[in-house]
């Protein structure tokens, strides 16, 4: 695909645009990575002209971007790219005004759609009717992409009426994180680990995505969604697929995404017969986070609710490589700390030659952390210095395989890579339709299993790691969560 010459940014006055999209685009522009003639046409229902939107954009940059990077000439150059069109996406007639601002000579066009899913169909129809969905246009979609398989298919069918799969870019911002991409480099760029990346050498895998926040202004969205659909269906299943996938033939969109789909289709079904033993759901009650008292979920919501704010799942990938290896996943709100982490727990050595000398040998661990900092650490056993008169002393020591070697390079917002890939037309780090639908099939079965077993969220105090049943989920297998 040719680089875009116009970028249409829907939902341009929203929180995502102010915190992530505009700062990301500024960062790309400041580094000279955007096409020289690229114009960014922003649109939303809010009444702005070019000048007032540029003022809003500049204020957003000053809240997010480090002051030393906001050089006046760079800010002025970026703001000069911005145009604004007030648009109610539910009114198809208003798209003609948007099309008039997009110079037909500025082709191809990249479109970033960050609006409510209820507006997807009307927006796509308006784009098509105004000539903005032609062969040189590509469309990026921000989640949520449905609430179940049926609604996801409805959205995808609406998109497909104007944008074929080759020009549809579904966003999961976790795939733009440097450490997620480094996972692929770690696995497939080194001979050392890949021969060990299987059931023979790996005992289990843990995936944790925890948040310290509660509803934080997302009341209507989250209470109708819950943690399973908000986090597991997209971010966590994408991480699982990247960890478990077979080596793709090459690093391109088709090969990488095809291998991920194979993993998602190999996930053992969790439903009526095993939902109660393979999943735990919870909802936070009043407690304390970082030493500060916080309200419970129902108090924040203002009404009773059975929406889960915590999920723990024991999953299996039923294929040759991962036979018998459990994948433990957990995500929740009002946890003790904010972190996204993958733990690869290797098996113990088959025989310890140090046992008679009083030394304990711990199995190796590979810890891949995505946030708050991005690091990769391999925990290995080494001998503690000394004369060993009281026995050999071994200590678990981390080898930093992460980003310390690149301390001089600015850590980029995940959206920087995704926006640049959208502008340049590279779909490798975006999600294909069959991936989304495979994810929803697995998630829908779990929710049906919860309903069939009359499962409701167990209470847990804010500031803890979820209900005690989540601990039991792993402890009965002799596994302890890494906190």
Active site amino acids? 235
Q: Is 18 annotated as belonging to a binding site?
A: yes
Distances (CA, A) of 123 to 4, 115, 257, 334: 20, 9, 27, 35
Cα–Cα distance measured from residue 362 to residue 422, given in angstroms and rounded to the nearest whole number: 44
Q: Is 58 annotated as belonging to a binding site?
A: no
Q: Is 414 annotated as belonging to a binding site?
A: no
Find out whether the peptide bond into 70 is cis, omega within 30 degrees of 0: no
Q: Is 143 annotated as belonging to a binding site?
A: yes
CB atoms within 10 A of CB 163: 20
Q: Is 71 annotated as belonging to a binding site?
A: no
How does strand 39-44 pair with strand 137-141? unpaired
Q: How many helices (H) and strands (E) does the chain have?
A: 17, 17
Q: Is 184 annotated as belonging to a binding site?
A: no
By three-state DSSP, how is residue 84 classified?
A: strand
Q: Is 36 annotated as belonging to a binding site?
A: no
Q: Which residues contact 175 (CB under 8 A, 6 or more apart)?
A: 181, 238, 414, 418, 429, 430, 431
Cα–Cα distance measured from residue 34 to residue 420, given in angstroms and rounded to the nearest whole number: 7
Burial class of residue 33, CB neighbours in 10 A (0-12, 13-18, 19+):
middle
Q: Is 15 annotated as belonging to a binding site?
A: yes
Both tokens assigned to 253: 């969109």
CB 426 within 8 A of CB 28: no
Q: Is 14 annotated as belonging to a binding site?
A: yes
Q: Is 11 annotated as belonging to a binding site?
A: yes
Q: Is 16 annotated as belonging to a binding site?
A: yes
Q: Is 126 annotated as belonging to a binding site?
A: no
Q: Is 230 annotated as belonging to a binding site?
A: yes
Q: Which residues belong to the annotated binding site for substrate?
A: 173, 177, 211, 230, 333
As annotated, the binding site includes: 11-18, 45, 143, 173, 177, 211, 230, 333
Residues contributing to the annotated binding site for NADP(+): 11-18, 45, 143
């Amino acid at each position: 695909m040719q680089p875009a010459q116009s970028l249409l940014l829907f939902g341009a006055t929203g929180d995502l645009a102010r915190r992530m999209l505009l700062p990301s685009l500024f960062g790309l522009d400041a580094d000279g990575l955007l096409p020289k003639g690229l114009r960014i046409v922003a649109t939303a229902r809010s009444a702005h002209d070019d000048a007032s939107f540029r003022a809003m954009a500049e204020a957003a940059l000053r809240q997010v971007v480090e002051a030393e990077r906001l050089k006046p000439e760079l800010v002025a150059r970026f703001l000069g790219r911005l145009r604004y069109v007030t648009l109610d996406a539910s009114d198809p007639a208003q798209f003609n005004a948007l099309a008039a601002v997009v110079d037909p000579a500025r082709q191809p066009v990249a479109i970033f759609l960050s609006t409510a899913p209820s507006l997807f169909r009307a927006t796509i129809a308006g784009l098509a009717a105004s000539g903005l969905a032609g062969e040189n246009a590509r469309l990026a979609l921000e989640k949520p992409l449905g609430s179940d398989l049926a609604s996801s298919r409805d959205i995808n069918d609406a998109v497909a009426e104007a944008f074929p799969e080759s020009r549809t870019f579904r966003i999961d911002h976790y795939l733009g994180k440097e450490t997620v991409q480094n996972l692929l480099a770690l696995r497939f760029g080194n001979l050392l680990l890949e021969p060990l990346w299987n059931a023979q050498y790996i005992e289990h895998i843990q995936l944790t995505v925890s948040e310290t926040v509660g509803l934080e202004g997302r009341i209507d969205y989250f209470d109708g969604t819950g943690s399973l659909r908000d986090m597991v269906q997209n971010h966590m299943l994408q991480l699982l697929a990247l960890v478990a996938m077979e080596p793709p033939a090459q690093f391109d969109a088709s090969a990488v995404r095809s291998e991920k789909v194979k993993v998602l289709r190999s996930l053992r079904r969790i439903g009526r017969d095993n939902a109660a033993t393979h999943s735990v759901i919870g909802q936070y009650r009043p407690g304390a986070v970082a030493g500060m008292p916080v309200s419970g979920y129902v108090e924040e919501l203002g009404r009773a609710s059975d929406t889960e704010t915590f999920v723990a799942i024991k999953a299996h990938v039923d294929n040759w490589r991962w036979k018998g290896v459990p994948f433990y996943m957990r995500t929740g709100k009002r946890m003790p700390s904010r972190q996204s982490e993958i733990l690869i727990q290797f098996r113990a050595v088959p025989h310890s030659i140090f046992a008679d000398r009083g030394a304990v040998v711990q199995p190796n661990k590979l810890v891949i952390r995505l946030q708050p900092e991005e690091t990769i650490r391999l925990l290995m056993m080494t001998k503690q210095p000394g004369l060993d008169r009281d026995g050999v002393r071994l200590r678990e020591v981390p080898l930093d395989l992460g980003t310390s070697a690149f301390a001089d390079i600015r850590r980029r917002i995940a959206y920087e890579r995704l926006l640049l890939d959208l502008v340049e037309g590279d779909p490798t780090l975006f999600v294909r339709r069959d991936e989304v639908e495979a994810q929803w099939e697995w998630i829908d079965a779990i929710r049906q299993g919860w309903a069939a077993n009359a499962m409701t969220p167990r209470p847990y105090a804010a500031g803890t790691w979820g209900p005690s049943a989540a601990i039991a989920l792993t402890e009965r297998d002799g596994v302890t969560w890494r906190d």
